[in-house]
Structures are given as C-alpha cells and as structure tokens.
Amino acid sequence: MAKILVVDDSSYARRVHRKILETAGHDVVEAASGLGALEAFGLEKPDVVLLDLSMEDVGGVEVLRQIRTMDPEARVIVVSADTQRSTATELREARASAFIAKPVRNEELLAGIATVMEGTPGA
C-alpha cells in the first residue's frame, strides 16, 4: 500500500483520515501545519499527500506550490470545504492531482488515492 501524508490543522480531521487510510492498509504520517507538511514531505517522501487548504501558518495552496518545487511529480490531493471557483482555478494552476470536498466519505477518499496512484504523478 501507500505512505500517505495527511496535512490538516484539525486533529479530528487527521484522526478520521488516519482511521480510514490505516483500515485500508496504508501507512500514515501526519502534519498539523503548512510548515510541518513541508518538513514531513522532505523527510518522509510520501507516495500521496492529503492537503487541507486552510491552515494558520502557511496556506495549502502555498504548501502545494512548495511541494511542486521539491518534487514536480508529487501526488497531492487537496481535501477542503472550500469549493469556490477561484480556489479551483488556483489549484489547477498549482497542479493539484485531485480535489475532494469535505466532509469526506470513506469510499471517495480511497478512490481518490487509488486514482492518483494509478495515474501520472503530479498530473
């Protein structure tokens, strides 16, 4: 299975995602902030990143851009309640691999991971 970095400033969201992912056999690494995400990405080299957009220190879009600088082929799934058209455009420009709206359903999360794992990295 995959090593997945879950980035969310909500401990509840991280816990829920961890349970879904570990039940499916994935290894999970967590980060509670944008800076923590960048550090964990560099150290852990995850197969997939689940990235929230709203964080206090460094926002998710900037984290995505930084990850793209570190690894242009990274698989980054944005998981957020922000479904505004302007956000979608910004995520496309920053090359998010996929977007999943919160609240996340188990099947949707696992299907999104399977899709980006099968597809072209960073597409």
Q: Tens digit of pLDDT for each residue in 1-38?
A: 899 999 999 999 999 999 999 999 999 999 999 999 99
Count of other CB atoms within 10 angstroms of residue 81: 11
Residue 59 pLDDT grade (very low, low, confident, very high; cuts 50, 70, 90): confident
CATH topology assigned to domain 3-118: Rossmann fold (3.40.50)
CA torsion, points 76, 4, 103, 108, in degrees to nearest 10?
Answer: 80
Distance CA 115, CA 10 (A): 25
Taking each continuous run of H as one helix and of E as one strand, the counts in the chain are 5, 5
Question: What pTM value is reported for the model?
Answer: 0.90
Kindly tell me if the per-residue pLDDT of 123 is higher than 50. no
Q: Where are the domains of the chain?
A: 3-118
